[in-house]
Chain A
Amino acid sequence: EAGVTQSPTHLIKTRGQQATLRCSPISGHTSVYWYQQALGLGLQFLLWYDEGEERNRGNFPPRFSGRQFPNYSSELNVNALELEDSALYLCASSPLQGRSNQPQHFGDGTRLSIL
């Protein structure tokens, strides 16, 4: 089966711009999670979507937002980009809502660089 796919692979922006990152989950997975992997800060949870709704968000400002589409793919939007937003953004998916003991499968990530 195809894994979690993310696009673009690399995104270069300048301060103040807006970035959109995309994620397609594994077929049959309804939950999508976004994580930020910044240098020196490890992997931090950003957002969780399931069945089209935001279920939980991490400790990030409101300029980090997203959505999940009817086909379960997801977008992460980052507005008013700041230098510290430079990081690898990872998307993960897991199967059906309610089946909490399922592992998450990760994509290759989008490297966002802010100049």
Chain B
Amino acid sequence: AQSVSQHNHHVILSEAASLELGCNYSYGGTVNLFWYVQYPGQHLQLLLKYFSGDPLVKGIKGFEAEFIKSKFSFNLRKPSVQWSDTAEYFCAVKGGSGSARQLTFGSGTQLTVLP
């Protein structure tokens, strides 16, 4: 079965610091990869997605992620975080087969940005 690992459960940064959140998945075939964000009191929102092509994908709010197939990784990065980036971040994977349309989520990383 597909599994997703987010190794950082809680990350605390100061404003303007750089961010990298790790995500590793287990499925060896074709995958679709996603990062979702959940701001306090809000619903899950899509930050960015990777389906194919350029392994460096850019999302909203200055976030980007790099797909490294050999490492089964899809790490999320932002060069300079803001206080408003405080939220919980979820990495998710969808397998390519027809019976695997659902998302498998990582356990989430709570990011706290100090002003």
Q: Which residues of A contact B (CB under 8 A)?
A: 3-4, 31, 33, 35, 42-45, 48, 50, 55-56, 58, 90, 92, 94, 100-101, 103-109
Interface size class of B (residues with CB under 8 A): 20 to 34
Q: Which residues of B contact A (CB under 8 A)?
A: 32, 34, 36, 42-46, 49, 51-52, 90, 92, 94, 96, 98-108
CA distance A80 to B46 in the complex (A): 34
> What total count of A-B pairs have CB within 8 Å?
57
Contact A103 B104 (CB under 8 A): no
Top 5 nearest A-B pairs by Cβ distance? A43-B105, A106-B44, A45-B102, A42-B107, A101-B51
CA distance A56 to B102 in the complex (A): 8
Per DSSP, are chain A's interface residues mostly helix, strand or loop, or mixed? Answer: strand
